[in-house]
Amino acid sequence: PTPRTVLLTGAAGGLGTLMRALLPAYGYELRLLDLAPVEGEPDAITADLSDRKALREAVRGVDAVIHLAGISLESTFDKIVRANIEGTYNLYEAAREEGVGRIVFASSNHAIGYTPRPEPGDPLIPVDTPRRPDTFYGLSKSFGEDLAQLYWDKHALETVSVRIGSCFPEPTSVRMLSVWMSPADGARLFHAALTAEAVGHTVVYGSSANTRLWWDLTTARALGYDPQDDSEPYAAELVAEHGELDPADPAHAGVGGHFVTDPPIWPH
């Protein structure tokens, strides 16, 4: 059956704001949750992913969850553990306890960030490439994918893990020409992930049909995703400004870009 009521965690964030605008057109009634107030949405649930009681109430009666909440960039290990590792566990437990059938998990390309980016003509990166997190952040997404697999195998709770590239209104770097997912394609992909039959735990890459794509969209297309956008119209201007990616620059060598070369963030 087509899910109708969907809990959107991280609703106040960048992607949450884009999806709040786009998903209702697909027929979803969204229940919103975030640590931060959601502008213009007085009914949104203000809760931390550490609040198990609030999560249990938030998932009660929904058909599915789109789980975007968490720290979305590198941070200290402790902060990542609390928000992304324990927080995602708390969300899965709440969903299991309340019998929610499916979660769409916002994983990230940073779960495979050290994977060398293919040169034109090289094979695209498959979803079963070994994970090579580039940060504690990427490590937490790798954990989330394994958690999703466990909850499918042990509890029959389905997940589509979407390794999102960069979902922003426009590509703003040469790297993003390869990894960009337009907001409209993001909504198409989330809709496909919510409605495809029998997904078990499926891992997909989340991007538009970019001319300069680095990874294989086969598993995403198998869900019914049919991307309509391509970053290439932005290429001339971005390349003129920044130049092509430099194979000798370690910050350009991996899928994760500068996340690969940024130093870890230590507590102080």
> Catalytic residues, which ones?
137
Query: Which tokens go with 146?
Result: 């394994």
Check residue 15 for interaction with ligand NAI (CB under 6 A): yes
Query: Which tokens go with 130?
Result: 């070994």
Check residue 139 for interaction with ligand NAI (CB under 6 A): no
Binding-site member from 90, 161, 166, 208 for ligand NAI (CB under 6 A):
166
Interacting residues with ligand 15L between 68 and 127 (CB under 6 A): 72-73, 108-110
Sequence-distant (≥ 6) Cβ neighbours of residue 89 within 8 angstroms: 147
Q: Strands, E, within 55-190: which ranges?
A: 64-67, 102-108, 158-164
Task: Identify what 48 binds: ligand 15L, ligand NAI, none; CB under 5 to 8 Å per kind.
Answer: ligand NAI
Report the residue number, 146 or 247, with the smaller CB distance to ligand NAI: 146
Q: Strands, E, within 29-71: which ranges?
A: 29-34, 45-46, 64-67
Contact between 137 and 108 (Cβ < 8 Å): yes
Sheet architecture: strand order including 102-108: 45-46, 29-34, 5-9, 64-67, 102-108, 158-164, 201-206
Interacting residues with ligand NAI between 96 and 135 (CB under 6 A): 106, 108
At its nearest, how many Å lie between ligand 15L and the CB of residue 97? 28
Instruction: Return left, alpha or beta for 175; rule: phi > 0 is left, psi -120 to 50 is alpha, else beta.
Output: alpha
Neighbours of 16 (CB within 10 A): 24
Binding-site member from 8, 34, 62, 133 for ligand NAI (CB under 6 A):
34
> What is the Cα–Cα distance from 16 to 75, expressed in whole angstroms?
20
Check residue 49 for interaction with ligand NAI (CB under 6 A): yes
Number of residues forming the site for ligand NAI (CB under 6 A)? 23
Fill in the per-residue mask, 144 to 173: x = in contact with ligand 15L (CB under 6 A), - = not in contact. Answer: ----------------------x-------
CB burial of 97-125 (b: ≥16 within 10 Å; e: otherwise) equals ebebebbbbbbbbbbbbbbebbeeeeeeb
Interacting residues with ligand 15L between 181 and 240 (CB under 6 A): none
At its nearest, how many Å lie between ligand NAI and the CB of residue 87? 5
At its nearest, how many Å lie between ligand 15L and the CB of residue 158? 23
Supply the DSSP symbol for 185.
H
Task: Identify what 12 binds: ligand NAI, ligand 15L, none; CB under 5 to 8 Å per kind.
Answer: ligand NAI
Report the residue number, 166 or 182, with the smaller CB distance to ligand 15L: 166
| Binding site residues, ligand 15L, CB under 6 A | 72-73, 108-110, 166
For binding to ligand NAI (CB under 6 A), which residues are involved? 10, 12-16, 34-36, 48-49, 68-72, 83, 87, 106, 108, 164, 166-167
